[in-house]
A and B are shown apart, each in its own frame.
Chain A
Amino acid sequence: MFDFLEDYDLLEAFWMTVKLTVFAGIGSLVWGTLLAAMRVSPVPVMRWFGTAYVNIVRNIPLTVIIVFSSLGLADVFGITLGAADDVDVMSFRLAVLGLGAYTAAFVCEAVRSGINTVPVGQAEAARALGLSFSQVLGLIVLPQAFRSVIGPLTNVLIALTKNTTVAAAIGVAEAALLMKEMIENEAQLFLIAGIFAFGFVVLTLPTGLILGWLGKRMAVKR
C-alpha cells in the first residue's frame, strides 16, 4: 500500500516548504517591522507610505503577487535575482520575494497592534527623559511590544507556512506541487491527501503550541 511512495521524494518537497517559510519569514519580519516603524514615525511621508503599502498589498491576492513575480518581474523586466540560468533557483527566490513582500503587511499590522499594547506612560516617561523618537521606539516601546506580539506573529507565521503552497503556481517544487503530481498519477487519493495534510499539521501544530506557550511566558504582565 505504501510502496508507491518510493518513487517520490516527500521529504525534499516539505524541506522546500520549510525553506520558503524560513526565508520569507525572516524577510517579512525585517521589512514588516520597518513598515510598522514608518507608520508610527513623526515623518508624514513615511506614515503615508506605510499605510498605502499595507492597504494595497493586503487587498491583492497572494496568488496574483506570486504569479506576477514570475511572469512580470522575471519574464518582462528580467529581474532574475542572480539566477538567470537556473529556473528552479530563480522561481524559489522570486517566491520568497513575493511571500516576504505580502507577509510583511501582516507583520506590520501585528507589530503596530503590539505597539498599542504598551501603556502610554512608558512612552511619556521616555520622552520626559529627553529621548528622541528612535530611542523611544528602539529602547522602550519595541522591546515591550515584541514580547506581547509573539502570539499574533505566531498566527502570521502559521499563515505563511500554509501560504508557501501558493509558490506551486510558479513551479517551485514544494509540497502542494508534489501532491498535485502524485494525486494525478496514483490511485491512492485519500492516502496521499492524508499524508500531506498530516505533514502540514506536523509543521503548524508544534509551531503554534511552542510559540503560544512562549508568548504567554514572555508577555509583559500588566
Chain B
Amino acid sequence: MTSVLYDAPGPRAKRRNVLLSLLFLVLLLLGLWWAWTMMSDKGQLDWAKWEPWLADSESWTTYLLPGLANTLKAAGLAMVIALPLGALFGIARLSDHRWVRVPAAAVVEFFRAIPVLILMVFANQFYSASTDISVDSRPMYAVVTGLVLYNASVLAEIVRAGILSLPKGQTEAAKAIGLRKGQTMTSVLLPQSVTAMLPALVSQLVVIVKDTALGGAMLSFAELLSARKTAASYYASVIPSFIVVAVVYIVLNLILTSLASWLERRMRRSKKSTGAVVGPEALENLETIGPKTIRMDHGENAGGGAGGGGGGG
C-alpha cells in the first residue's frame, strides 16, 4: 500500500524504515516486558488465576454468560423501544409545520446533551420512588430507560439523515402520482430509508452495548461487568478477569461492526435500493449542533472508520 504522503521508498528510505521499525518494536517489547514483569511480580500470571477462565466451564456458565445475556437483553430492548420513538421524532423534525418541528428538535437536542448516566440514575430513583417495580428488576428497568431516552434522540437524527439521504426524485415521483404527504412518507420514503439506515443502526448497537456497562458499575445491574466483579472475588483473580471480559466485549463489538460494514457494502451494491446509505462513518460527519444541520456525536462513541461522504443536512 503506497500512500500519497510519501514516495515509494528508495534504498536509504528502506533502511531508515527498517531502523524505525526495529526501534519501535524494541520500545513496544520493552513496554510489554514491563507489563509482563509487573503481572508476574504481583502473581497475576499464576495458572491458578487463569485456570477458572480457560480450563473450567463453571466460571462461564455461573458468572459470565448470565451477565452477557443481561447485557444483550438490555441492549436489545433499548434498541427495540428506542427505534420507533426515534423514528417518530426524526419524522417530526422534518415536518412542514413549525409547531411540530420546533418542540421535536428541542426534545432531541436536550436528550442528546445529557450524559446517559444522569438519565439512568434519574430513572432508577424515579422507579423506586413512584412505581412498585421490585428491587431486583429495577436496575434493568433503569438502565433500559436511560438508554432509550438517550438513544431515541440519536436514532431520531439517524432516521432524519436516512430520509434526507434519499434522492429528491423519490419525493417528486410520489407527488407526481398524487400521493399525500403522509402517504409519501409511509409508503415511499420510510421503507427505503430503513434499508439506508441499517448499517448506522447496527453501529449504534455497539454504543448501546458499551453503555450497558455503566449500569453494572453504578446501579448494580447484573450485566457482564458486574458479573466480572463477583467472579473475580470468588476466584481471587483480578487482572485475568478484566482481560477475559475485555476480550468478550471486543469480540462482540467487532462482530457488530463488521456486520455493519458488510450491510453497508451490500446496500451500496444492491439493485433494489436507490444506493442511498447512511453508513457508520456518516454518524461522525454529520455536522455540529443546530436545528438545520444534522449532528452526530460518538455518544459513548459510535463506531465507524475514517470519514467518507456524510449525509450533512
B13 at the interface (CB under 8 A from A): yes
Given A67-B217, A184-B125, A127 and B288 contact (CB-CB distance below 8 Å)? no
Distance of B149 from chain A, by nearest CB (Å): 11
CB-based contact A42/B225 at 8 Å: no
CB-based contact B289/A208 at 8 Å: yes
Most B CB contacts (10 A, CB to CB) among A68, A110, A120 go to A68
A26 contact set on B, CB distance < 8 A: none
CB-based contact B114/A162 at 8 Å: yes
Q: Determine chain A's interface SS by DSSP, over half rule.
A: helix
Task: Give the total of A residues in contact with B, Cβ under 8 Å.
Answer: 74
CB-based contact A136/B6 at 8 Å: yes
- Give residues 92-138 of B contacting A (CB, 8 Å): 110, 113-118, 121-122, 125-126, 129
The distance in angstroms between the C-alpha atoms of A203 and B134, with both chains bound, is 36
A106-143 interface bits toward B, Cβ cutoff 8 Å, 1 = contact, 0 = none: 10011011001100100110010000110011000100
With both beta carbons as reference points, the residue of chain A lying nearest to B210 in the complex is identified as: A61
B278-313 interface bits toward A, Cβ cutoff 8 Å, 1 = contact, 0 = none: 000100110111100001111111011111000000
B7-33 interface bits toward A, Cβ cutoff 8 Å, 1 = contact, 0 = none: 101000100010011001100100000
A1 at the interface (CB under 8 A from B): no
The distance in angstroms between the C-alpha atoms of A40 and B115, with both chains bound, is 33
CB-based contact A212/B306 at 8 Å: no
B165 at the interface (CB under 8 A from A): no
A23 at the interface (CB under 8 A from B): no
CB-based contact B306/A49 at 8 Å: no
The distance in angstroms between the C-alpha atoms of A163 and B115, with both chains bound, is 7
Partner of A152, one of B25, B225, B285: B285
CB-based contact B114/A76 at 8 Å: no
Given A42-B17, A163-B300, A120 and B295 contact (CB-CB distance below 8 Å)? no
CB-based contact B246/A193 at 8 Å: no
A68-91 interface bits toward B, Cβ cutoff 8 Å, 1 = contact, 0 = none: 100110011100000000000000
CB-based contact A106/B24 at 8 Å: no
A30 contact set on B, CB distance < 8 A: none
- Give residues 28-47 of A contacting B (CB, 8 Å): 40, 42-46
Partner of A183, one of B20, B24, B122, B239: B122
Partner of B110, one of A61, A189, A201: A201
B287 contact set on A, CB distance < 8 A: 151, 212
B289 contact set on A, CB distance < 8 A: 205, 208-209, 212
CB-based contact A58/B303 at 8 Å: yes
The distance in angstroms between the C-alpha atoms of A40 and B17, with both chains bound, is 13
CB-based contact A189/B125 at 8 Å: yes
The distance in angstroms between the C-alpha atoms of A193 and B216, with both chains bound, is 21
CB-based contact B250/A60 at 8 Å: yes
Given A64-B246, A155-B288, A59 and B114 contact (CB-CB distance below 8 Å)? no
With both beta carbons as reference points, the residue of chain A lying nearest to B253 in the complex is identified as: A59
With both beta carbons as reference points, the residue of chain A lying nearest to B215 in the complex is identified as: A63
Most B CB contacts (10 A, CB to CB) among A151, A196, A205 go to A151
Partner of B301, one of A77, A106, A152, A189: A106
Given A113-B306, A189-B125, A63 and B21 contact (CB-CB distance below 8 Å)? no
Most B CB contacts (10 A, CB to CB) among A59, A120, A200, A215 go to A59
CB-based contact B20/A43 at 8 Å: yes
A179 at the interface (CB under 8 A from B): yes
B188 at the interface (CB under 8 A from A): no
CB-based contact B250/A59 at 8 Å: yes
B60 at the interface (CB under 8 A from A): no
Partner of B284, one of A62, A109, A133, A197: A109
A18 at the interface (CB under 8 A from B): no
Given A168-B218, A205-B289, A40 and B3 contact (CB-CB distance below 8 Å)? yes
Most A CB contacts (10 A, CB to CB) among B6, B44, B115, B289 go to B115
A208 contact set on B, CB distance < 8 A: 288-289, 295
Given A162-B114, A208-B288, A116 and B306 contact (CB-CB distance below 8 Å)? yes
The 10 closest A-B pairs by CB, nearest first: A212-B288, A113-B307, A61-B213, A59-B253, A208-B289, A162-B115, A61-B210, A63-B213, A169-B217, A133-B6
Excluding A56-B250, A72-B239, 6 further A-B contacts by CB distance (< 8 Å) are: A42-B6, A63-B225, A67-B217, A152-B284, A179-B121, A183-B125
Binding site for B on A (CB under 8 A): 40, 42-46, 49, 55-56, 58-64, 66-68, 71-72, 75-77, 102, 105-106, 109-110, 112-113, 116-117, 120, 123-124, 127, 132-133, 136-137, 141, 151-152, 154-156, 158-159, 162-163, 165-166, 168-169, 175-176, 179-180, 183-184, 189, 193, 196-197, 200-201, 204-205, 208-209, 211-212, 215
* 26 A–B pairs (Cβ distance < 8 Å), ordered by A: A40-B3, A43-B17, A59-B249, A59-B257, A60-B249, A61-B209, A62-B210, A62-B300, A63-B214, A67-B217, A68-B242, A76-B42, A105-B301, A117-B307, A120-B4, A127-B4, A127-B6, A133-B6, A162-B114, A162-B115, A165-B118, A166-B214, A168-B117, A176-B117, A176-B218, A204-B113
